[in-house]
Structure formats: C-alpha cells, structure tokens
Amino acid sequence: MFKSKIREIDNCADESMPLNTLSHKNLKFIVFFLILVIFLCSYVVFSFINNSFESSKQSNLYLRPRSPNLGSAFVQRAILIFYPSNQEQHYFPEIRWLYRSWIEMMKDESRNWRTDLIIYTGNYSSSLQQLGCVLNEIRSNSTEQPQCRVFLYLRLSAREIDTRTEKQRLFANVHRKDLFDINIQRSILLYKNVKKYDYIDSVNIIAESYPTYKYYNFILKTDIDVFITKQFAKFIPVTNAALLVGLGGYSTPFNTRRLGRIARDMNWQHANMTNIGSTWYGSPYVAQRIADLTLDAMLHLSDNEFAQVERDRKLGVLLWPDWHYGVLSMYGTHLAVNHLLVSEKLGIKRANQLLDQSTTDPDPNNIEKNNRLHLHCWHTNKEFSKFEFKAGKYNNIHPRTLIHNTSAQAYAMRIALESRLMTLDELAQRLKNIGTSKTK
C-alpha cells in the first residue's frame, strides 16, 4: 500500500510537470516583456532629455555672444519686413509693437552695433513718416545712427500686365529701379499663377531687394507680428556665412515624403530638414539664395501639385496638416533649403529654440536662460494674443504692472501696451535718443 501511495504521488508529480514548466515559461516571457518595456521607456525619456539638452545648446552651437572684443567691432544688422500699406488699420498695431521692441532691444546693444528696421511697402504713409522712417535710403556706413528705413515696393498682386505691350509694371517708384534686382520673367509667372497667395511678398522682398540690404553683416527676415527681445542685442550667428531658420509647424510624415518626391521630380537635392520656419537670421547672401529658389519652388508646386479648387481655397483646411495651399511658401522654403544644404553646402541651421518663440510662455527665466531672440504671435486667444489685443481685451492692464515680470508673456504684453499708449512722435524720439547715445 505504501508503495502504491508512492507511485500515486509520483504519478501526480509527473502530471503536474508540464503545468510548472508552462508557468515558468510564462514568467520568463513576462519578465522579458517588462524589461523590454522599461528599456523602451528609458530610451524615450533619454531621447526627450537629450533632445531638450541639444535644443538648449543651440545658442552655443549657432550663436556667439557679444564679448569685449566683439563689442568693440562694428556689426551691421537689419530687421526686414513686408508691410501691406493698404491694410494699415489691421497691421499698423503690429508695426508699432515691433518698432517698440526694436527700440527696447537697442538699449542693451553695443555702441558699435547698428540694427536698422527696414520696411518694404507700397506707400510712404504719414504714420511711417511720424515714426521717423527715412525713404529709399540705403545704409552707407557703419557709424550712421540706427534708422527705420522704408523702401517703396510694388507687391505682386499690383503688377498688372499691359495687354497691348505684354509688359509688366514692376516698380512703385520708377526713378529708383536701382533698389531692386527683378527677374522679370519670373515676376510675370508669379503674377499669373500665385498673385493671390497671401504671403508671396514676404519672400519676394528678399529675392528682389538684395541691393537694399546686402551691406549688412546679418539680417533678420521676419513677419510683422513679432517682438525682438533684449537677448537679440547680444547674439549674432557664429559666422557671416551662416543662417538660422526658425520654427515652422507644417511637417507631417505624409508631406515630408511628398516633398522629397517633388524634389526628385525637380532634380533637386533633399537633406531631410523639416519644419523650417518663415523667420531667417543670418547672412544676406544665403537669405537671398533661399528666397530666390523658394519662388521657383512655389511656382512648380502651385502648377503641378495643387488642383484649382485647392488654389482657390475652396477646400478650406480640409487637408491640413498633410497638404495645404495656405502654407505654399513654407513648402517652397522647405524645398529650397534642403536643396541648398546639399548642392551649395550653405550653412543653414534650424534654430527653433531661438527664433519664433511663443508669446504665451509664463516662465520668467526662459528668455534669458535659453537666449530666446524673437517672439512670434501664434493663432491663439491665450495671453499674449494679438487677436485679444486688437479687440481691446487688455486695455485695462497698465504696462507698469509688468515691468518686473521677465516672462515672454509679460514682455510681449508690456511692449504692445506701451506701443499703443505712446504717440508716434514719442516712439520716433526714443529712436533718436538711442541713436544719439551711440554716436557720442
């Protein structure tokens, strides 16, 4: 009986062995899976920290701060914008706050540095005259006081073609043709094909107006709805041949692949740089090369990659963000920059931690710690919002209450409110005072 019990136990043990083995295998699989998950999570966290660290190092990689030696050298810079003079009521508040931030920045600038504000527009309005802007005057030397300079520019939508002679009107002022270098054939094609595109002139001024800005060591090509920070007073690109591009939020896997294919169709190179912004800071020559090729790319895209209903905006934002005619200039810039990176080995770097920073950031240390050079108003109703500002929603805020708040949000709010409260004559006088301090 005892032996039979032993055999019974042995039989039970034999029957249970497959279950134990299976459980052991399951346990090994679960442990392996958990280790894999931990590894993947660690990799993601490490990548995020590393990318953040790399972003924070951009100021060291792409910028050189003002040093005693550099401060004693003459540095010439210009901020370039296109201003649609026929929409003054809508855009002039932005001109005022950009102008105010430009003045504020120059308080911290070296006495030997000069930063001009250049406005390309169709009309030398009384408002621009009150701001002290000079008309059609190119900077002639490194000691001249900083100036607001207006150059009369005929926007593409106004360049009508005479049906009898087939000649196109090209200049707002025919007596100053020397200020522009226009590709006439392309101008005609742009007029016929993309004149209704809202942002074409912001690129075209850089392509055609090189004689007006080639004198400078560095230019900042930007939009109107921006603020120049005090950090801009202290930093320039590492070399005169470098150009930094800001942040653009158009890239998706679909349009990145599509733009790569389009580059091949055009026999252009493609270096896989994505999300290239509309703000450029650096070499005038490199900026002109980008703008020149961007226009060619925009013509190709409009003609070959968009249907008429898309060009007419009848689809609205239905295809956004994968493919959208409203960001045609960004697609064109994408193709131009990627091609030039390979074909001409130009020193173009993405600086999305330096340029096009948000005006809604409440962090009081962010601007100075991370060298935010330039704030850009995005489409938001959060403070600071250009829409809320223009609607008068901030009129009950006094700028004096923000004077000690160093966040991007407060800086943009204070500068915008001050620009609204100051008269144009007061703004112009502030510019004169800074100019005088630089030439004493």
- pLDDT for the residue 378: 92
The percent of residues above 90 in pLDDT, for the chain, comes to: 82
What mean pLDDT do residues 304-328 have?
Answer: 95
Average pLDDT over every residue of 389-399: 97
What are the tens digits of pLDDT across the range 122-172?
999 999 999 999 999 999 999 999 999 999 999 999 999 999 999 999 999
Least confident range from 55-69, 128-142, 316-330: namely 55-69
Residue 106 domain-assigned (yes or no): yes
Any domain includes 409: no
Instruction: Return mean pLDDT, the chain.
Output: 89
Give pLDDT, residue 36: 52
Question: Does a structural domain hold residue 29?
Answer: no
pLDDT at 18 over 60: no
Q: Residue 440, Cα to own-chain centre: how many angstroms?
A: 35
Read off the pLDDT of residues 98-128 as tens digits, 9 standing for 90 and up. 999 999 999 999 999 999 999 999 999 999 9
**pLDDT for 26:** 58
Is residue 326 in some structural domain?
yes
The CATH number of residue 231's host domain is 3.90.550
Cα–Cα distances in Å, from 303 out to 252, 308, 316? 22, 9, 19
Sorting pLDDT into bands at 50, 70 and 90, what band is 75? very high
CB 275 within 8 A of CB 337: no
Specify the number of domains making up the chain: 1
Higher pLDDT, 271 or 7: 271
pLDDT tens figures, 175-210 = 999 999 999 999 999 999 999 999 999 999 999 999
Specify the pLDDT at position 61.
75
Give the model's pLDDT for residue 71: 78
Residue of 381, 363, 380 whose CA lies nearest to 372: 363
pLDDT over threshold 90, residue 69:
no
pLDDT value, residue 22: 39
Residue 217 in any domain: the answer is yes
Whether 8 is covered by a domain: the verdict is no
- 22 is a domain residue: no
pLDDT tens, position by position, 31-51: 555 555 454 444 333 333 344
- Tell me, letter by letter, the H, E, C secondary structure of the chain: CHHHHHHHHHHHHHHHHHHHHHHHHHHHHHHHHHHHHHHHHHHHHHHHHHHHHHHHCHHHHHEEECCHHHHHCCEEEEEEEECCHHHHHHHHHHHHHHHHHHHHHHCCCCCCEEEEEEEEECCCCHHHHHCCCEECCCCCCCCCCCCEEEEECCCHHHCCECCCCCCECCCCCHHHHHHCCCCHHHHHHHHHHHCCCCCHHHHHHHHHCHHHHCCCCEEEECCCCEEECHHHHCEEECCCCEEEEEECCCCCHHHHHHHHHHHHHCCCCCCCCCCEEEEEEECHHHHHHHHHHHHHHHHHHHHHCCCHHHHCCCCCCCCCCCCCHHHHHHHHHHHHHHHHHHHCCCEEEECCCCCCEECCCCCCCHHHHCCCCEEECCCCCCCCCHHHHHCCCCCCCCHHHHCCCCCHHHHHHHHHHHHHHCCHHHHHHHHHHHHHHHHC
Question: Can you tell me the distance from the alpha carbon of 42 to that of 156, in angstroms, rounded to the nearest whole number?
Answer: 53
Instruction: Evaluate if residue 83 carries a pLDDT over 80.
Output: yes
pLDDT band at 393 (very low <50, low <70, confident <90, very high): very high
Per-residue pLDDT, averaged over 334-340, amounts to 98
State percent of the chain over pLDDT 70. Answer: 86
Per-residue pLDDT of 219-233, as tens digits, reads 999 999 999 999 999
Q: Assess if residue 418 is contained within a domain.
A: no
pLDDT at position 24 over 60: no
- φ and ψ of 51, to 5 deg: -65, -40
Closest CA to 115 of 127, 124, 123, 107: 107
* Residues of the domain holding 216: 67-354
Question: What pLDDT is recorded for position 70?
Answer: 81
For residues 411 and 399, what is the distance between their CA atoms, to the nearest angstrom? 9
Confidence of residue 28 (pLDDT cuts 50, 70, 90): low
Q: pTM of the full predicted structure?
A: 0.86
| Higher per-residue confidence, 417 vs 14 | 417
- Report the pLDDT value the prediction gives residue 305, as an integer from 0 to 100: 98
